[in-house]
Amino acid sequence: SSELTQDPAVSVALGQTVTITCQGDILRKYYVSWYQQKPGQAPRLVFSGYNDRASGIPDRFSGSSSGNSASLTIIGTQAEDEADYYCNCRDNSGNHVTFGGGTKLTVL
Amino acid sequence: QVQLQESGPGLVKPSETLSLTCSVSGGSINSYYWSWIRQPAGKGLEWIGRIYSSGITDSNPSLTGRLTMSVATSQNQFSLKLYSLTAADTAVYYCARGMLYGDYWYFDLWGRGTQVIVSS
């Protein structure tokens, strides 16, 4: 299956660490990328999996993967990190692209 | 710096065809993948399809038969046509640049998006 599954919502206290996960069998084959989307804005690349963090992304963001799961971790979460986060990778065919359903991160 | 800008009608009637264009400025359209992605209000991202600068296309299987994509390298633009529209096609449509390195795939640049409403 090429489906990517994300928890719909996650919350974290200001300054704490949070991990957003993405699961799918396709992750055993391809690497995942992560995007941040704030209300009314276009998504923004956070972690490419290839060049690590995208340009301008603070080093409190990091990505990792193992088996059929990938994670985006934010250490010392800031208020401005409150957003929707999406994972993305190629599907089984290799020629199509699939997104996870997104995780809404709330910073308390 | 490279920027992407979507353009097209904001309102389209059901059963009609949506035509969108993405203009690439500040860099060349050549040697990259260019994608269309949409997002219904309050929902997640859906990949529509991609076109390489050579003209080779891949599309979401759920849209096969309703979608045509083209690229105009001399104008640094690429376009989408989506046929037989229904209310379910109402969404913000984004264009984005895709990067492919072996098993890595990611969208490194996005347009600001354009709202499309399908309604009579």
Q: Do B98 and A33 touch (CB under 8 A)?
A: no
Q: Give residue A50's pLDDT.
A: 66
Q: Give residue B114's pLDDT.
A: 98
10-residue mean pLDDT profile of chain A (108 residues): values are: 92 98 94 96 91 88 93 97 96 90 98
Q: Do B104 and A99 touch (CB under 8 A)?
A: no
User: A71: which 2 tokens?
Assistant: 């994670």
CA B30 to chain centroid, in Å, comes to 16
- Nearest CA-CA distance, residue B35 and chain A, Å: 10
**B1-30 confidence digits (pLDDT tens):** 999 999 999 999 999 999 999 999 999 999
d(CA B24, CA B98): 13
Give the mutation candidate from B5, B48, B50, B105 for the A interface (greatest A CB count, under 10 A): B105
CA A53 to chain centroid, in Å, comes to 11
User: Nearest by CB to A49, which of B35, B60, B104?
Assistant: B104
**B22-69 confidence digits (pLDDT tens):** 999 999 999 999 999 999 999 999 999 999 999 999 999 999 899 999
Average pLDDT of chain B? 96
Distances (CA, A) of B35 to A20, A23, B4, B42, B68: 25, 23, 11, 21, 12
User: Nearest by CB to B106, which of A48, A96, A100?
Assistant: A48
Q: Which of B78, B61, B68, B70 is nearest to B25 (CA)?
A: B78
Chain B contacts to A (CB-CB under 8 A): 35, 37, 44-47, 50, 58-61, 94, 98-99, 101, 103-113
Q: Residues of A with CB below 8 A from B91's CB?
A: none
